[in-house]
Chain A
Amino acid sequence: KAGVTQTPRYLIKTRGQQVTLSCSPISGHRSVSWYQQTPGQGLQFLFEYFSETQRNKGNFPGRFSGRQFSNSRSEMNVSTLELGDSALYLCASSFGRLVFGGKGTDTQYFGPGTRLTVL
């Protein structure tokens, strides 16, 4: 089975621009979660999409948005880029919902990440 793929792998943008990142989950997986990884803050949850609906959201401003398509592929968009948005953006897929309301957590498989640099 092919793993989680993310495109592009590297991206350089300038402040004020917007960017779209793409994530293709493992075949058959329906949940895609996005994370931001920075040296200072570590891994921070952005949001989870399941069945084309955003299910959970972390503490990020509205400039961060996403969507999921019927084939479970997901895109993340960041508008009005700021220098602090420079980070490695990881997506992860799982078969079911990531967290089942306390009844268990599905196993996530991570992609290689997209490294975004904002100048």
Chain B
Amino acid sequence: AQRVTQPEKLLSVFKGAPVELKCNYSYSGSPELFWYVQYSRQRLQLLLRHISRESIKGFTADLNKGETSFHLKKPFAQEEDSAMYYCALAVNTDKLIFGTGTRLQVFP
């Protein structure tokens, strides 16, 4: 079955601390994974995709096919990183499947 799991509903850290938002997926095909972010009172938007191997706002995510994971990381969290983060999997011919999201709270 195709599934995206984000085990943490809430992750709280202090400013300057490292952040890792976990995402695990289940998919038999070749995975294409994304992280979306929704800041307070803003629209859901694409943060990064694994095929681009890019770093956006200091965030990176590496696809680990062995562990079927795509964890989002940032070495030093900022208060403006507080948001809802969704991991998503593109299913080969169909659609995007989203995880249930992790709320990141960064305290000053």
A binding-site residues for B, Cβ under 8 Å:
3-4, 33, 35, 41-45, 48, 56, 58, 90, 92, 98-99, 101-102, 104-105, 107-113
Contacts and interface: CB of A to CB of B under 8 A. Distances in A.
Interface of B: 29-30, 32, 34, 43-46, 49, 51, 86, 88, 90-101
Contacts, number: 63
A53 B23 CA distance: 33
Contact of A56 (B32, B95, B99, B101): B95
A98 B93 contact: no
A42 B45 contact: no
A41 B100 CA distance: 6
B99 A42 contact: yes
B86 A43 contact: yes
